[in-house]
């Protein structure tokens, strides 16, 4: 798997992973904005349009999170120096799975704002524990 990741990224898995994780974080911020509009906290566009876009961009985030997680596991594994990063990433994957289950089941909708906020926080911790060092050239 590691060779596949190196081939796909042309030998730059850290760069590609950081870019994809940055896209995930940017989309997660957008998700918060869309949720605020959807729950009528910010009356910028219709709630229906906001939730439709929230759902579509959430699907994209889910795919990107899984891709980044697989890249991390394949190339870096579970290195002890990044315990907080690993814990936050695993937490984000678990919360994402629960959120998808709640959405698909149609039950527990009142939990979605809390799950979404927790997911955002875990994604932010995951990004902030690794990406700034890489972007500063300390990789």
**What HEC string does 52-85 produce?**
HHHHHHHHHHHHHHHHHHHHHHHHCCCCHHHHHH
Average pLDDT over residues 38-65: 94
Give the contacts of 37 (CB within 8 A, at least 6 positions apart). 43, 44, 45, 47, 50
pTM attached to this predicted model? 0.89
Q: Is the pLDDT of residue 79 over 80?
A: no
pLDDT confidence of residue 137: 82
**Could you tell me the two tokens for 107?**
């039950």
Q: Which residue has the higher pLDDT, 90 or 139?
A: 90
Q: Is the pLDDT of residue 122 over 80?
A: yes
Q: Is the pLDDT of residue 82 over 90?
A: no
| Closest to 57 measured CA to CA, from 79, 25, 80, 92 | 25
CA end-to-end distance (rounded Å), the chain: 21
**Could you tell me the two tokens for 16?**
């590609």
Is the distance from CB of 24 to CB of 68 less than 8 angstroms? yes
pLDDT confidence of residue 119: 98
């Amino acid at each position: 798997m590691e060779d596949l990741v190196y081939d796909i990224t042309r030998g730059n898995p850290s760069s590609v992973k950081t870019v994809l994780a940055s896209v995930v974080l940017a989309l997660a911020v957008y998700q918060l904005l869309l949720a605020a509009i959807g729950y009528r906290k910010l009356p910028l566009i219709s709630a229906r349009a906001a939730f439709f876009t929230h759902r579509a961009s959430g699907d994209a985030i889910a795919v990107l999170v899984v891709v980044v997680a697989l890249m991390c596991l394949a190339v870096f594994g579970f290195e002890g120096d990044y315990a907080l990063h690993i814990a936050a990433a695993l937490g984000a994957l678990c919360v994402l799975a629960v959120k998808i289950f709640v959405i698909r089941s149609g039950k527990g909708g009142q939990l979605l704002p809390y799950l979404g906020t927790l997911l955002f926080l875990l994604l932010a911790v995951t990004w902030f524990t690794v990406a700034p060092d890489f972007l500063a050239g300390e990789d």
